[in-house]
Amino acid sequence: MGSPASLRSSSQVSIPPSYNNIGLTYNHLGQYDKALEFNQKSLTIELQVFGENHPDIATSYYNIGLVYENLEQYDSWSPAPAVLSSVAYGVGRSIRKVTQGVAGLGGKLTGGLFQPKRTATKK
């Protein structure tokens, strides 16, 4: 069994997606106040656990934006441009890591079948 710190850490990581899912459900049901409550809980925990440069932060911001869009309160939700820039940077960095990992794995799995062909040069 893990230490109390590792258990707390793993539960902190697993709770925000659940809050986001509950928020999305309330959003689809038209219960926007409850949707905002759960999406904001998710965002608060994610910021504490991950900081501002994590892709999950973008998901929470997006879900909160969806609620305000459904409420037609377009001016109510506008995170600071610096926050959005920071999130975009973190998401982009994560996408690059995943892309590089998949590309490397693909080459290993296929034995290099998808490597560019090398052409012989004439001397």
Query: 12-26, 48-62, 101-115: which has the highest mean pLDDT?
Result: 12-26
Rounded CA-CA distance 95/62 in Å is 17
Q: What is the per-residue pLDDT across 2-19, written as a single tens digit (0 to 9) for each?
A: 444 443 466 677 889 999
Say if residue 114's pLDDT is above 60: no
Q: Is residue 59 part of a domain?
A: yes
Q: What CATH number does residue 56 fall under?
A: 1.25.40.10
Q: Which domain holds residue 15?
A: 4-94
Give the chain's largest Cα–Cα span.
74
Q: Is residue 109 part of a domain?
A: no
Q: Is residue 116 part of a domain?
A: no
Q: Look up tokens 């759960």; give the residue.
A: 38
Single pTM value for the model: 0.60
Task: Specify the number of domains making up the chain.
Answer: 1
- What is the structure's pLDDT at 81? 56
Q: Is residue 107 part of a domain?
A: no
Structural tokens at position 17: 């997606």
